[in-house]
Structure 1
């Protein structure tokens, strides 16, 4: 019998008290951790459900209680990495008094940090968008949300006379910049060059982005 998420089997210490962790939460995380550990040893396309259950130390029916496929596992891992980044930056919009230079440092500097921390997941996620409809859909949803916020910010800044974008099609500018940044991060995390080379890459992306936004101050 597959255990349901209402069962409990573990606890952790929070604020001096112990909280019971639902069994389902533990098992779900075991599956996610098992999949992520495999990404360091084999290409994502080669990973099977059996590989995941073996790595997680669970039976196959337990896997399907929580996930329909390995695509769902990868999609959740990518979403989790994205959520960590979003929580770190605090807001997609430029804050009061924040320069555009500081804005890009906060958004894309922190984004790169998230890629470094979750590089195996993010690289696998980008690779899977080429052949997996579920992962592609999840990735597109996340990127579209980001681009929407950035386009809105560009529009507000242009209307306020703070920038002079290279085109009136703000959405197209933002989409192409995001595509460029994702591919640059993907290549960087795939090759893992020296830190100096990564720093040059980040500086170039920032310069191109500021130029496309038409930042004059």
Structure 2
């Protein structure tokens, strides 16, 4: 059955039952995406997997794309938790921790947390240019990553560890979008895509070269 066109819906009040059904829908969608792309799913299949009726689905989401957008927002929150863990390069690298070590641990932690949700993220990378709901959330996800990177770049420059260079925002945007495309190839299992470990290593090298212009600068050496 074809999906209904996107329309505004009134969200139910946040009762315990409402929250549980909302979670059931998102969990069901993620399970289905592990074996079937969103283009081959319809609302009835998602509702059946969640154990609810198609009518009940529309009490929460206006379309399958709307549900995917909500699922992505949930994953952004998961990524934010990793960003804000103690010792994260994005928060505040300890002065005695080498930049490469701090970055490696953070990149590996983010990649590891998102890898379990790669089928959902694959759909986001694939659909953000054509589905308005997905586009809004995915651009927000990239903007959040860009801002985090920009702030960290400026911190490292202020400390004198990273040399002055291209505008921090521009550098951050380049790194965020490069990582998005590299991750998409891996999540979609495209030919010659990188493994999880290779993905981490390539992103680490790109960050180090673009931000520090070095593979492993000494945090005790100030360039100013």
Fold match (TM-score > 0.5): yes
Gaps of 5+ in 1: 8-21
- Quick check: which one's strand share is greater? 1
Say whether 1:36 aligns with 2:35: no
Identify the residue that residue 6 of structure 2 maps to in structure 1.
none
**SS of residue matched to 1:65:** coil
Tell me: CA distance 1:6–1:90, structure 2 relative to 1, closer, same or farther (3 Å).
closer
CA distance in 2 between partners of 1:82 and 1:102 (Å): 24
C-alpha deviation, 1:210, in angstroms: 0.2
Render the CA deviation track for 1:35-71: whole Å, top value 9, x for unaligned: 1122123211222212211222211221121122222
Residue 133 in structure 1 maps to residue 127 in structure 2: no
Tell me: CA distance 1:114–1:193, structure 2 relative to 1, closer, same or farther (3 Å). farther
Gaps of 5+ in 2: 1-11, 219-224
Q: Does 1:50 align with 2:48?
A: no
Is 1:77 the counterpart of 2:71? The answer is yes
Change (3 A) 1:213 1:27: same
- How big is the shift at 1:186? 1.6
Residue of structure 1 equivalent to 2:155:
156
Which contiguous aligned blocks of 4+ residues in structure 1 show a shift greater than 6 angstroms? none
Let me know the Cα RMSD of the aligned residues. 2.4
Report which structure shows greater RCO (CA 8 Å, sep ≥6): 2
The structure-2 alpha-carbon separation of the partners of 1:6 and 1:85, relative to structure 1 and needing over 3 Å to count, comes to closer
The normalised TM-score by structure 1 is 0.81
Does the 8 Å CA contact 1:115/1:185 hold for their aligned counterparts?
Answer: no
The alignment covers a number of residue pairs equal to 198
Correspondence for 1:180: 178
TM-score by length of 2: 0.79
Q: Which residue of 2 aligns with 1:61?
A: 55
